[in-house]
Amino acid sequence: MNKKTAFITGILLSLQTLTFAQANIQDTINNWQEELKPVVLTGQYNPQSVDKSIVEVDVLTQVDIKRMAGNTLGDVLNQTLNLSIIPNAGEGRSGIEQFGFNSEYIKILVDGVPIVGDEGFGNAIDITQINLDDIQQIEIVEGAMGVQYGSNAVTGVVNIITNKKSFYKWHITPYIQEETIGNEYGWFDEGRHIQSIKVGHNISDNWYADIIYTRNDFKGFLNNNQGKEYYNPDNGNDGLRGYEWLPKVQNTTKALVNYDKNDFSAFYKFEYFDEQTEKYAKNVHLNPNPATQTLNPTANDVLFRTKRLYHHANATGKLFKKLNYNISASYQEQIRNQESFTYYLHSKTKSNIDRFDYNTRKGFFSRGTLSNLLDSDIIQMAIGYEINADKGSASGLSEQNSGTDTQDKEINTYSGFASAEINASNRLTFSPGVRYIHSSVFDDQIALSLSSKYVFNNDYQLRAIIGTSPKIPNFEELYFYMVDSNHDVRGNENLSPEKGKSIFLHFKKPFFFKNSDFTYETKLSGWYLDVDDKIDLIIVNDSPLAYQFNNIDLYRTWGVALRNKILYKHFTANLGVSYSGESKVLNSSDIKNDKYLYSIQVNTQLSYRIPRWNTTFSTYFKYNGAQYQFVQQLDENGEQYFAKQKQDGFAWLDASIRKDFLNNKLEVSLGARNILNVKDIKTASSGGAGHNTASNSLLLGYGSSYFLKLLYNINF
């Protein structure tokens, strides 16, 4: 019996026990209707029902996260329509792609505050580094949100809302989770091993505090590779050493103190995150010794380490018993360190150790709003400010630079914004907004928004959201510098912010049937989104060959999506389909093709709860259709042209079973991810002469994996 078979057998035996035991436990989720109307915070003056929000917000609730047994943001967003997770197995990182734009265009927030990352605040975040052990819900807004959340909120916002209270005097929650990585699993050297504990305490009626520690140990995915200690004594260059997906260990410590009394509340959150990622050279230097007829194999390996400090203080309340205020201040640091060394495979020792920091960040962020300025039921007004001070190094390759090119740079932005929500009638509400952005580096920018909601008869709702957001050039585009005998690639400090704008329409209707437990909600959405002055790397000199970043391209996308949700007694189903077209006007090339290329996405979620067994069965399916791109080619005469090339479609299928024992004290989740065994897909890149195109593969997953999670609630 191999390791994978043993793990699956254990899960099946657990499944039999879970299914038939504890049949008399009461159902803990009685009101399934509440899943249709969660309370949302993103883009709101005050917390309110998602139906009352003038901005369209999609919500992943804590129930959704528990069903998926999600531990990181990447675990739960993979099934979301119009979002794709793009992994980089060679670096051990993953980012988000939304509407065809990479993770620099979508802003990730925690309690309304952007997280520090490699390229600044809130963007280009490695989502596998965002732990979900204290999450209340995740709110997703599509479209430019420049007025509410400033620059770089071009395609949308993901706002993670954390828990800050407990119903119990003491709440202690330890859990462990074991997962296979594809067909690889072992107690110590293979698989994914997670341990976590949370201790929360209501100190008094007004004070609450908690502390959380989580360790996430991903042992990497070998696939056809042979691991760290492998070498071929006959051929050190066979390329089989190391891992296809890099091993990494994450340690996260979080602490919270929350005060809540009458109309005033305040909290302070702290987080320390540490990650180590191991990258092993695929080839080995055999170092033969003819005198002794022995080998002393060595390899040039690298250890990457990320440290992040996060402080966030927030206060909300009322002034003069009328005005609502909300003020946040956050100081964050991130240090990425690289340690390169020579590893001796026989003695398992290191030499020639070289350490240096790169992609460092130190930043301060503050945001404040003052709302309910007019104390009117017809017009609500809010004003606010935002300060973002970002200091860091130039790029991920800055270790190759020298002298002044490795010095830290600083980009500070200061914003003031105002918006209003006007109830023109019982049916019509609209909200205009404007933000003025002053930068220490760039010309001043303006972001605008206009949102409206109209409620028809029978509760049909139409929302229109128009917004703009600038995209500030990142540190690499501005300050990158790598010039030697083989390279000449430079940033451009004269770059201008990109200009993003979007239009979204949402038409939805909930259907409630009298004397029935059946509820149905449908939503039809349409959008247009473009980014002008898109930054691209272009050739600025032919001989010698030199590259530089410039504002030159235009990206556009439009599409429609239909989302449906059905609730019937203890059964829930979600079905969504999205059809979109994408156009890239690559003015960086001598030739161009601005035609739209189309793709489709489909997602489905089914859950059924058996109250008598206190068990929930869930499945998640998402199909990402084939994508197309125009690839630059050379014909038989050496002339350039654009050829339409295809990236294969693929599908994710996950399933889980969750059961509560011992009066809901013990929570057991087991299931499978990537049941369709997706590892890579075929894509295409630019080819040579003629009509030949180099076919490549894009790594997406590590095959089918299985998990078992045990969580125990100690409440008193």
pLDDT average, residue stretch 527-553? 82
pLDDT average, residue stretch 396-425? 75
Contact indicator for 615, 651 with CB cutoff of 8 Å: no
Q: State the DSSP H helix or E strand holding residue 581, giving kind and residue range, or none if neither.
A: strand 571-585
SS3 percent helix, strand, coil of the chain, rounded to 5, is 10, 60, 35
Contact indicator for 38, 65 with CB cutoff of 8 Å: no
CA distance 307 to 411: 21
Q: Pick the more confident residue, 637 or 314.
A: 314
Give the range among 25-34, 117-126, 428-437, 476-485 with minimum mean pLDDT. Answer: 25-34
The DSSP-derived string for 109-128 is EETTEEPEETTEESSS--GG
To the nearest 10°, the Cα dihedral for 130, 131, 134, 135?
60
Q: Pick the more confident residue, 474 or 672.
A: 672
Q: What is the pLDDT of residue 17?
A: 36
Go through 472-484 and write b for each residue having 16 or more CB atoms within 10 A of its CB, e for each that does not: bbbbbbbbbbbee
pLDDT average, residue stretch 38-54? 85
Q: How many CB atoms lie within 10 A of CB 285?
A: 17
622, pLDDT greater than 70: yes
The chain-wide mean pLDDT, for the chain, equals 87
Q: What is the pLDDT of residue 482?
A: 75
Percent of the chain with pLDDT over 70: 88
Give the sign of the dihedral formed by CA 333, CA 245, CA 98, CA 472. positive
148, pLDDT greater than 60: yes
Query: Going by C-beta distance under 8 Å and a sequence separation of 6 or more, which residues neighbour residue 666?
Result: 660, 710, 711, 712, 713
pLDDT average, residue stretch 486-510? 89
pLDDT digits (tens, 9 = 90+) for 659-710: 999 998 999 999 999 999 999 988 865 444 444 444 578 889 999 999 999 9
pLDDT digits (tens, 9 = 90+) for 543-601: 677 778 888 778 899 999 999 999 999 999 999 999 999 988 766 555 556 788 899 99
Q: What is the pLDDT of residue 551?
A: 85
What is the Cα gyration radius of the chain?
27
Query: Going by C-beta distance under 8 Å and a sequence separation of 6 or more, which residues neighbour residue 5?
Result: none
Q: Pick the more confident residue, 706 or 374.
A: 706
Percent of the chain with pLDDT over 90: 63
520, pLDDT greater than 90: yes
> Which tokens is 296 given?
């002393």
Q: What is the pLDDT of residue 477?
A: 83
Of the candidates 1, 2, 10, 63, the residue with the CA atom closest to the CA atom of residue 179: 10
pLDDT bucket at 34, cuts 50 / 70 / 90: very low
The DSSP-derived string for 635-647 is -TTS-EEEEEEEE
pLDDT average, residue stretch 111-131? 87
Locate the DSSP E strands across 72-145: 83-88, 93-98, 106-110, 113-114, 116-117, 120-121, 135-142
Q: Pick the more confident residue, 20 or 661.
A: 661
Q: What is the pLDDT of residue 589?
A: 57
Report the half-sphere exposure of 389 (CA within 13 A, side-chain side). Answer: 9
Residue that has been written with the tokens 């691991």 in this structure: 227
pLDDT average, residue stretch 191-195? 97
Q: What is the pLDDT of residue 549?
A: 81
Of the candidates 85, 81, 79, the residue with the CA atom closest to the CA atom of residue 102: 85
Q: What is the pLDDT of residue 30?
A: 37
Q: State the DSSP H helix or E strand holding residue 14, giving kind and residue range, or none if neither.
A: helix 3-20
pLDDT average, residue stretch 169-190? 95
Locate the DSSP E strands across 426-491: 428-439, 445-455, 461-471, 481-483, 488-490
pLDDT average, residue stretch 295-317? 96
> Which tokens is 58 given?
């999609």
| pTM of the predicted model as reported, rounded to 2 decimal places | 0.89
pLDDT average, residue stretch 346-359? 90
What is the DSSP-derived secondary structure letter of residue 101?
B
pLDDT average, residue stretch 210-227? 95
CA distance 619 to 59: 18
Q: Give the CA angle between residues 411, 413, 418 to the nearest 5°.
A: 165
Domains of the chain as residue ranges with CATH: 3-715 (2.40.170.20)
pLDDT bucket at 243, cuts 50 / 70 / 90: very high
The DSSP-derived string for 542-573 is TTTTEEEEEEEEEEEEEEEEEEEEEEETTEEE
